A = this chain, B = another copy of it.
Amino acid sequence: MFALGIEEIGSYIPHGRISNYSRKEKFGITDQFIEEKIGVQEVSIKEATEETSDLCVRAYQNLRIKIDLSPDDIEVVIVVTQNPDFNIPHVSAMLHGSLGFKSSCACFDISLGCSGYVYALSIIQSFMHANGLKKGLLFTADPYSKIIDKEDKNTSLLFGDGAAVTLISDKPLYTTGKFTFGTMGKDYDDLICRNKKLHMNGRSVFNFTAKVLPDDIHKVLKINGTEISKIDKFVFHQGSKFIVDTLTKRIGLPPEKVVFNAKSFGNTVSSSIPIILEKEIHEKQNRLMVISGFGVGLSWSSAVIKRA
């Protein structure tokens, strides 16, 4: 059995921005709310004509700047999204056509939100192991600007558009340990898209995360035979600065080990973790990291990743 893992990551964040400072009066919010509570000063917005598959193509182009990759090498393509170009077909099939992958390349999409990257790392690696595949692409792209009501304070100040693509291969920079997964489906309507509009019960999603995630982080450390002091970085989904700070306190983490990078583009849903990892996997001092996603479903997933 060959070892699979993360070889490289590319990402794309559209240039468009909406400043949250420009909406202070409209929403009755303060600088302190922007800087300390949500931690998002501006959100990234794609062009109206840019589709989910276009964001993926841009992330792929950025990956190929960093690494030599032939479309013929790719044996599986997964796209994690809940905002596909069309419901039929899947986005991965569209990418297969536009990026010229080979006919034996397996393609499917996964419907998950903010927990999707961690889940999908397990899904793609499992699938590749079982089918003897050595190179695969895991895309995340969930441009919430397609479904956000700009008048909705609960969502429009937080979510930004972005995409990422992770090359999984048998020449990994990082391998994954054991995963945790979880679902609290009875609260599925805390984050829901009805009639093309996103609705979020922010307080409820926050309370769920603050309650469930600390135990989950202790669990993922334990099943991987490790502990907080041995972990170099904790990479949480970037729901808001307040939720990342709350988890840091409740779990008892040294703040310098916890990343928050969403200040200038917002919560990019399933792309939040790979956008951070794109940089962190190249920091030599990071030998062991915890990654943890949570949100839509409600759902969560955590894993320990290790420098190969």
Q: Which A residues contact B (CB, under 8 angstroms)?
A: 76, 82-84, 86-90, 92-98, 101, 103-113, 116, 119, 122-123, 125-127, 129-131, 147, 178-188, 191-194, 198, 212, 296-299, 301
**A103 and B188 in contact (CB under 8 A), knowing A82-B90, A126-B131?**
no
**A186 and B97 in contact (CB under 8 A), knowing A122-B130, A122-B131, A126-B131?**
yes
| Nearest 6 interchain pairs by C-beta | A96-B185, A97-B185, A106-B181, A126-B130, A109-B111, A126-B126
Name 5 interchain pairs, CB-CB below 8 A, sorted by A: A82-B88, A89-B297, A89-B298, A103-B182, A108-B111
**A87 and B83 in contact (CB under 8 A), knowing A126-B131, A183-B105, A185-B107?**
yes
Q: Which residues of B contact A97 (CB under 8 A)?
A: 184-188
**A194 and B130 in contact (CB under 8 A), knowing A94-B185, A94-B188?**
no
> From residue A101, how far is it (CB to closest CB) to chain B in Å?
7
> From residue A291, how far is it (CB to closest CB) to chain B in Å?
16
B88 adjacent to A296 (CB under 8 Å):
yes
> From residue A6, how far is it (CB to closest CB) to chain B in Å?
16
Q: Which residues of B contact A95 (CB under 8 A)?
A: 185
Q: Which residues of B contact A182 (CB under 8 A)?
A: 103-106
* Bound form: Cα–Cα A109–B183 in Å: 13
User: For A98, A110, A123, A184, which residue has the most chain B Cβ atoms within 10 angstroms?
Assistant: A123
A112 adjacent to B123 (CB under 8 Å):
no
Q: Which residues of B contact A122 (CB under 8 A)?
A: 127, 130-131
> From residue A105, how far is it (CB to closest CB) to chain B in Å?
6
A88 adjacent to B113 (CB under 8 Å):
yes
Closest Cβ neighbor of A113 among chain B residues: B88
* Bound form: Cα–Cα A96–B186 in Å: 7
* Bound form: Cα–Cα A196–B144 in Å: 19
Q: Which residues of B contact A113 (CB under 8 A)?
A: 88-89
* Bound form: Cα–Cα A198–B212 in Å: 41
Q: Which residues of B contact A106 (CB under 8 A)?
A: 119, 181-183, 301
Closest Cβ neighbor of A212 among chain B residues: B103
Closest Cβ neighbor of A144 among chain B residues: B88
